[in-house]
Chains A and B, each alone.
Chain A
Amino acid sequence: EVQLVQSGAEVKKPGESLRIFCKASGYSFTSDRISWVRQMPGKGLEWMGRIDPIDSSTDYSPSFQGHVTISADRSTSTAYLQWSSLKASDTGIYYCARQWARDGYYPHFDYWGQGALVTVSS
């Protein structure tokens, strides 16, 4: 059974750093990409970027480029999303999702993590 299990809720202050994880199981981690999707409180879904675990190549939405970093560890089948300096506007739920490789760059997200709530407040 394919599963994406994410880290728990985090409460941080502006300017702090954070790394959240998404641990995959039930399939070959290198066979599909992992994307990250943000949902701000009461708002819709926003694609942030993706990583191809086979070579750790990444693509970012221009809206998030330079503010977050996506990485992966093949040895533990885990993808990461990290911030070096959080802002209050980063508050939201962050989902990881498996991006079906056969549809290339298309938003075909067939399995999702449970979401990680990140709250940034002074």
Chain B
Amino acid sequence: QSVLTQPPSASGTPGQRVTISCSGSSSNIGSHYVYWYQQVPGTAPKLLIYRDDQRPSGVPDRFSGSKSGTSASLAISGLRSEDEADYYCAAWDDSLSESVFGPGTKVTVL
């Protein structure tokens, strides 16, 4: 049972915008940066967003992150078939004294 909560699934048609939420508390998201990872089935996770809303070099600007209070969101605009993957949020948690991942959200492109 993760201290971060994500919806188990999200979907959209090509070109649509999909938003994934990540809900936490004052001991994690409310006090620390949020990170987002994409994992295409059968491959290693890939860093998509760091420090709440920063994109690493090479990540398309279709991916954007935001945070407000104890919740964060990842938005994917202009959805493409290659975006079909599992998406995980992550943050440091003061109460647990460790990095925690959300349970993941499976994005399906219809």
Q: Which residues of A contact B (CB under 8 A)?
A: 35, 37, 44-47, 59, 61-62, 95, 97, 100, 103, 105-110, 112-115
Of B15-23, B42-50, B63-71, B75-83, the stretch lying at the interface with chain A is B42-50
Interface residues, chain B, CB within 8 Å of chain A?
2, 32-33, 35, 37, 39, 44-47, 50-51, 56, 86, 88, 90-92, 96-104
Q: Which of chain B's residues has its CB closest to A113's CB?
A: B44
Task: Name the residue on A nearest B33 (C-beta).
Answer: A106
Complex interface: chain B residues within 8 A of A35 (CB): 99
Inter-chain contact A44/B32, CB cutoff 8 Å = no
B45:A109 contact, CB within 8 angstroms:
yes
Contact A108 B47 (CB under 8 A): yes
Q: A45-B45, A115-B44 are in contact. Are A107 and B99 (CB under 8 A)?
A: yes
In the bound assembly, the distance between CA atoms of A35 and B88 in angstroms comes to 17
> Given contacts A106-B32, A107-B35, A107-B92, is CB(A112)–CB(B45) below 8 Å?
yes
A27 to B1, CA, bound (A): 36
19 further contact pairs, Cβ within 8 A, besides A44-B2, A112-B44, A113-B44 = A35-B99, A44-B104, A45-B104, A62-B97, A95-B45, A105-B99, A106-B32, A106-B35, A107-B35, A107-B90, A107-B101, A108-B50, A108-B51, A109-B45, A109-B47, A110-B47, A110-B50, A114-B44, A115-B44
Q: How far is the CA of A122 from the CA of B76 in the complex (A)?
A: 44
Chain A residue with minimal CB distance to B56? Answer: A110
Q: CA A105 – CA B50 in complex, angstroms?
A: 13
